[in-house]
């Protein structure tokens, strides 16, 4: 049994004051939902304030990125050692990091190794661009992202990693994939590669989320798919009603 996860990626939104306000709206609704792991991933500057508000709740905290070194002369970076005191989850390899900040499968790999070493639970994002999709390279791209991103990792326990399938053409565009399409990518590409790398029990036990323009009104279409175990939500995670609605759909 894979326990579903609904994670909110706030991206570069919300000052501390705004974050406090949003969390105060989210907590009562999210707290009441059982059977789903609920995660919010605010910007670094909000983590301490949000952590304080989530204390004693069943809602978990995540970061959106990290450096791979535990410390060092890396101006402007945040280390896994720093995050381990504050969060349980960390998003790694989001397409915006890959597109705008030059992250490669190799840097993703270093970050994953380091996150695991520091006891963080990484949410590894994979997904093809529109151009890759239209030139029928979805399989090739996702296989490469998984093989290179997960290279040299020794994984046995499927609860130590989460994968998010986020087709880049669906992120922030209002043009979500269909549940059926996302399910087939997970079933035909993602789980088979994970099985090859880490064995069948791992591949069957790992949670795979869908991300890309998920809203409360369409969430059930994804959660009713057998291979999809939740969602990574961007824009809609900034609206309490929407994020609570999505989480309720995951529990249903
Ligand atoms: P979106 O973003 O829900 O706004 O499309 C998803 C994501 O970037 O994780």
Q: What digits encode the pLDDT tens for the residues 206-225? A: 999 999 999 999 999 999 99
How distant, in Å, are the alpha carbons of 39, 94, 128, 178 from that of 212? 17, 11, 12, 10
Whole-number Å distance, alpha carbon 203 to ligand 1 midpoint, is 24
Ligand 1, atom nearest to 170 Cα: 5
Distance 155 CA to ligand 1 centre (A): 27
In this prediction, residue 75 carries a pLDDT of 98
Question: Which sequence positions are flagged as catalytic?
Answer: 94, 166
Model confidence at 203, pLDDT cuts 50, 70, 90, reads very high
Three-class DSSP category at 27: helix
Identify the pLDDT of residue 148. Answer: 98
Q: Does ligand 1 have an atom closer than 6 angstroms to the CB of 172?
A: yes
Any atom of ligand 1 within 6 Å of the Cβ of 9 = yes
Structure tokens at 226: 């057998």
Q: Whose CA is nearest to atom 6 of ligand 1?
A: 234
Percent of the chain with pLDDT over 90: 99
- CA-CA distance, 148 to 158, in Å (whole number)? 18
pLDDT (tens digit per residue) in 106-161: 999 999 999 999 999 999 999 999 999 999 999 999 999 999 999 999 999 999 99
226-252 pLDDT per residue, tens: 999 999 999 999 999 999 999 999 999
For residues 148 and 140, what is the distance between their CA atoms, to the nearest angstrom? 12
Q: Is 4 in contact with 228 (CB distance < 8 Å)?
A: no
In the chain, how long is the greatest CA-to-CA distance?
Answer: 49
* Protein residue closest via CA to atom 8 of ligand 1: 234
- For 41-63, how does the pLDDT look when each residue is reduced to its tens digit (9 = 90+)? 999 999 999 999 999 999 999 99
Q: Looking at residue 125, what is its pLDDT? A: 98
- Domain positions in the chain are 5-251
Mean pLDDT, rounded, for 91-102: 98
Whose alpha carbon is nearest atom 2 of ligand 1? 234
Q: How far apart are CA 160 and CA 120, in angstroms?
A: 8
Candidate from 9, 40, 163, 245 with most ligand 1 atoms within 8 A of CB, to mutate: 9
Asked if residue 211 has its Cβ within 6 Å of ligand 1, the reply is yes
How buried is 144 (Cβ within 10 angstroms: 0-12 exposed, 13-18 middle, 19+ buried)?
middle
Query: With 90 as the cut, is the pLDDT of residue 1 above it?
Result: no
Domain 5-251 sits in CATH 3.20.20.70: yes
Q: How far is the CA of 172 from the centre of ligand 1 (A)?
A: 5
């Amino acid at each position: 049994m894979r326990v579903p996860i609904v994670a909110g990626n706030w991206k570069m939104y919300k000052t501390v004051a705004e974050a406090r306000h949003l969390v105060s709206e989210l907590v009562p609704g999210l707290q009441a939902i059982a059977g789903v792991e609920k995660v919010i991933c605010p910007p670094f500057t909000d983590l301490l304030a949000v952590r304080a508000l989530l204390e004693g709740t069943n809602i978990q905290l995540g970061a959106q990125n990290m450096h791979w070194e535990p410390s060092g002369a890396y101006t402007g970076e945040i280390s896994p050692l720093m995050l381990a005191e504050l969060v349980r989850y960390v998003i790694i390899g989001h397409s915006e990091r890959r597109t705008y900040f030059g992250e490669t499968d190799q840097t993703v790999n270093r970050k994953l190794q380091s996150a695991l070493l520091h006891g963080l639970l990484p949410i590894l994002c994979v997904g093809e661009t529109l151009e890759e999709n239209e030139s029928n390279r979805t399989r090739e791209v996702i296989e490469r992202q998984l093989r290179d991103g997960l290279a040299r990792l020794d994984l046995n326990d499927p609860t130590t990693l989460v994968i998010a399938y986020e087709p880049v053409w669906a992120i922030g565009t209002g043009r979500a994939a269909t549940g059926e399409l996302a399910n087939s990518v997970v079933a035909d590409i993602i789980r088979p590669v994970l099985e090859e790398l880490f064995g069948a029990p791992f591949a069957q036990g790992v949670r795979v989320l869908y991300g890309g323009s998920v809203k409360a009104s369409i969430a059930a279409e994804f959660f009713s798919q057998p291979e999809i175990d939740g969602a990574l939500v961007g824009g809609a995670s900034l609206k309490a009603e929407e994020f609570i609605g999505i989480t309720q759909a995951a529990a249903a």
